[in-house]
């Protein structure tokens, strides 16, 4: 029988991060430096610089007071926070937002309140979204006159089935038929 003795680390690093530390400018010195909630988390949290109330269905562009110089070959992605999304309906309109390597302006977040009834109050300093930095392939494109054949071909947009909404629509139309 195999017995595991001693401490087993819960977070195992699969690859050593060889990117340099990313230069970060605090445009609003009172904002905290974006940080991970836990070691190994994918994203660092971004805070709102403003107090704002977002009515149901409304969107608003808020500043984070942060600018970065991402290395060429990486991209910043602005993702919603799942807790806020689940509890209040707050999300990011263009999720994930794209921060280009050459961008030196303030990172802004286009928030949306998806709740249909309740407004969301965002206060200055609240953690409203998270920034992930990933490597990205800067590919080139070459124009051709035809593409290779594949099993999928041109089928897309639900061609393989398995959509809950289609089941509910077909169940509804069956009920209506009776
Ligand atoms: O959530 C976001 C998305 C984008 N940006 C900034 C950084 C990014 O590099 C720039 C442009 O973003 P994007 O390319 O998505 O917008 P666009 O509408 O195509 O604008 P542009 O014509 O400036 O590229 O805006 C943000 O601050 N937050
Ligand atoms: Mg663009």
Comparison of pLDDT for 172 and 121, the residue scoring more: 121
Comparison of pLDDT for 175 and 117, the residue scoring more: 117
pLDDT digits (tens, 9 = 90+) for 26-73: 999 999 999 999 999 999 999 999 999 999 999 999 999 999 999 999
Which ligand 1 atom sits nearest the alpha carbon of residue 108? 27
Give the rounded percent of residues in the chain with a pLDDT score beyond 70: 83
Structure tokens at 145: 């006159």
CA distances from 26 to 32, 137, 145, 164 (A): 8, 28, 49, 45
Could you give the CA distance from residue 147 to residue 39 in angstroms, rounded to a whole number? 44
* Alpha helix (H) residue ranges in the chain: 82-88, 164-177
Which residue's alpha carbon is at the smallest distance from atom 16 of ligand 1? Answer: 98
Q: What's the gap in Å between 37 CA and the centre of ligand 2? A: 30
Confidence of residue 6 (pLDDT cuts 50, 70, 90): low
Could you give the CA distance from residue 63 to residue 84 in angstroms, rounded to a whole number? 18
Neighbouring CB atoms inside 10 A of 77's CB total: 17
On the question of pLDDT at 141 being above 60, the answer is yes
Q: Is the CB of 107 under 6 A from ligand 1?
A: yes
Neighbouring CB atoms inside 10 A of 84's CB total: 18
Q: What are phi and psi of 21, to 5 degrees?
A: -60, 140
Q: What is the pTM of this model?
A: 0.86
Comparison of pLDDT for 79 and 5, the residue scoring more: 79
Q: Is the CB of 98 under 6 A from ligand 1?
A: yes
On the question of pLDDT at 153 being above 90, the answer is yes
Which ligand 1 atom sits nearest the alpha carbon of residue 96? 1
The number of angstroms, rounded, from the C-alpha of 73 to the middle of its chain's C-alpha atoms is: 18
Comparison of pLDDT for 168 and 68, the residue scoring more: 68
Cβ contacts of 80 within 8 Å, gap of 6 or more? 90, 91, 92, 95, 129, 130
Comparison of pLDDT for 7 and 39, the residue scoring more: 39
Task: Starting from the CA of residue 103, give the closest ligand.
Answer: 1
**The pLDDT of residue 2:** 46
Confidence of residue 81 (pLDDT cuts 50, 70, 90): very high
**The pLDDT of residue 14:** 62
Neighbouring CB atoms inside 10 A of 6's CB total: 4
Q: Are 78 and 129 in contact (CB under 8 A)?
A: yes
On the question of pLDDT at 165 being above 80, the answer is no
- In 3-state terms the chain splits into helix, strand, coil percentages (rounded to 5) of 10, 30, 60
Full 3-state SS string of 141-152: CCCCCCCCCCCC
Which residue's alpha carbon is at the smallest distance from atom 25 of ligand 1? Answer: 99
**The pLDDT of residue 162:** 84
This complex has an ipTM of 0.99
Q: What's the gap in Å between 51 CA and the centre of ligand 2? A: 28
């Amino acid at each position: 029988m195999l017995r595991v003795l001693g401490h087993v680390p819960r977070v195992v690093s699969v690859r050593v991060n060889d990117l340099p530390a990313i230069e970060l400018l605090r445009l609003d010195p009172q904002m905290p430096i974006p940080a991970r909630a836990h070691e190994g988390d994918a994203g660092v949290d971004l805070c709102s610089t403003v107090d704002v109330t977002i009515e149901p269905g409304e969107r608003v562009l808020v500043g984070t007071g942060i600018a970065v110089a991402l290395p060429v070959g990486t991209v910043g992605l602005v993702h919603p926070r799942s807790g806020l999304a689940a509890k209040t309906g707050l999300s990011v309109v263009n999720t994930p937002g794209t921060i280009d390597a050459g961008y030196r302006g303030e990172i802004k977040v286009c928030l949306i309140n998806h709740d249909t009834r309740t407004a969301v109050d965002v206060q200055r300093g609240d953690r409203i979204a998270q920034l992930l930095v990933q490597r990205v392939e800067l590919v080139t494109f070459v124009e051709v006159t035809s593409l290779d054949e594949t099993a999928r071909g041109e089928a897309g947009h639900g061609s393989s089935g398995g959509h809950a909404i289609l089941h509910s629509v077909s169940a509804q139309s069956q009920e209506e038929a009776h």
